[in-house]
Amino acid sequence: MRLENDLLLRVAQGAEVERPPVWLMRQAGRILPEYRALRAKLSGFKELVETPALAAEVTLQPVDILGVDAAIIFSDILVIPEAMGLTYEMIEKKGPSFPKTIQSQKDIEDLIEGGDAASELTYVYDALALTKKELAGRVPLIGFAGAPWTIFAYMVEGGGSKTFSKARKMLFREPELAHALLEKITRTTIAYLKEKVKHGADLIQLFDSWAGILSPALYKEFAIPYLRQITEALREEETPVTVFAKDAWFALRELDALPCQVIGLDWTQNPADLRKLLQTDKAFQGNLDPCQLYAPGEKVAEATKKMLATFGKKHIANLGHGVYPDTPLEGVRAFIQTVQAHRY
């Protein structure tokens, strides 16, 4: 199906566009009263993730209500560990928690992996297909997954952490075990993302949320090779890929060398400096500080214009991280409208 608004894909493919496309990480979520109303009727977060009609509904909300230039399927990066055999719970105000974690070779051997694991996630593929149908070509649909290191971090640590010291400990004490787990996560993620593309994802984003807690040497050893495997596997699909490795300022050359089309930037990055440094043709995505949207609308507009000037062309406008749940809609709308009024 031909897309009415294909700005996102054109930028990812390196084509000229009249203005940057704009969407927000976590746009399908608690910033919208319509989301909160639906969510209040449910038993929990996972019911929403696992019910295709509901996931599709909240995926469409920001397209309908905010007019963003892309939809991103409502889901969670932790469906992958779950499909591999580690169930998680989403605890209100605390975040994810895994009753069972990966500690030994036996734990890794017991995991389901690859296509077998990916085939557990039909609810995600159904949600994609349904969303795609309901979008009716208005905007592209983004599919996503966690990067292997980030998924590994949750599977070993058992939940969120300031330091992820248990997960990092395995890299130092049992590097072969760590690689074995990362391999399984990677094979599963590839199978999963290929299914996502098959069911309607127009672009894939990989989130390496915990990239910044690894040293450059560890990131090169335990993260980059698996991102490479995934991005190379996705080349066959001809679907563009965005890699967003938060706080990985020290690995940008390595990220740039991956066969992906877009690099996501957090708000500590200066895209103009980075464009010069990397001499890259890739598009950049980002990177307004999510807290900027707490400011009054006119201040948001001003900061957004400044950001657009720093990026220049080859830019997908977004925040530098997921939008915070208590962000006022005034700030969100000012951000989106300022980008959409921009012309190169």
Which residues are tagged catalytic? 26, 30, 39, 76, 154
**Looking at beta carbons only, is 5 or 103 nearer to its own copies?**
103
Site for its own copies, rule CB under 8 A: 160, 162-163, 165, 168-169, 171-173, 212, 214-216, 218, 247, 249-250, 267-270, 289-292, 294-296, 299, 320-321, 324, 326
Contacts within 8 Å (CB) and 24+ apart, 81-85: 81/151, 81/154, 81/155, 82/120, 83/112, 83/117, 83/118, 83/120, 83/121, 83/188, 83/192, 84/111, 84/112, 84/113, 84/117, 84/155, 84/184, 84/185, 84/188, 85/110, 85/111, 85/112, 85/117
**Looking at beta carbons only, is 52 or 290 nearer to its own copies?**
290
Place of tokens 């391999």: 183
Query: Across the strands, what pairs with 89?
Result: 97
**Looking at beta carbons only, is 36 or 235 nearer to its own copies?**
36
**Cα–Cα distance measured from residue 283 to residue 264, given in angstroms and rounded to the nearest whole number:** 9
**Least gap, CB of 249 to its own copies (angstroms):** 5
265, 134, 253, 142: which is closest to 197 by C-alpha? Answer: 142
Maximum pairwise Cα distance, the chain: 57
Buried b (16+ CB within 10 A) or exposed e, 130-144: bbbebbeebbbbbbb
**Least gap, CB of 301 to its own copies (angstroms):** 13
Q: What are phi and psi of 147, to 5 degrees?
A: -70, 155
**Looking at beta carbons only, is 43 or 163 nearer to its own copies?**
163
Kindly report the CA angle at 268 between 262 and 270, in degrees rounded to 5? Answer: 65
**Least gap, CB of 308 to its own copies (angstroms):** 15
**Cα–Cα distance measured from residue 230 to residue 114, given in angstroms and rounded to the nearest whole number:** 12
Between β-strands 315-319 and 283-288, what pairing exists: parallel, antiparallel or unpaired?
parallel
**Least gap, CB of 267 to its own copies (angstroms):** 5
**Least gap, CB of 324 to its own copies (angstroms):** 5
Report the phi/psi class of residue 32: left, alpha or beta, with left for phi > 0 and alpha for psi in -120 to 50: beta
**Least gap, CB of 215 to its own copies (angstroms):** 5
Kindly report the CA angle at 85 between 81 and 90, in degrees rounded to 5? Answer: 55
**Looking at beta carbons only, is 283 or 293 nearer to its own copies?**
293
Helix, coil or strand: residue 288 = strand
Q: What are phi and psi of 126, to 5 degrees?
A: -65, -40
**Least gap, CB of 107 to its own copies (angstroms):** 18
**Looking at beta carbons only, is 97 or 270 nearer to its own copies?**
270
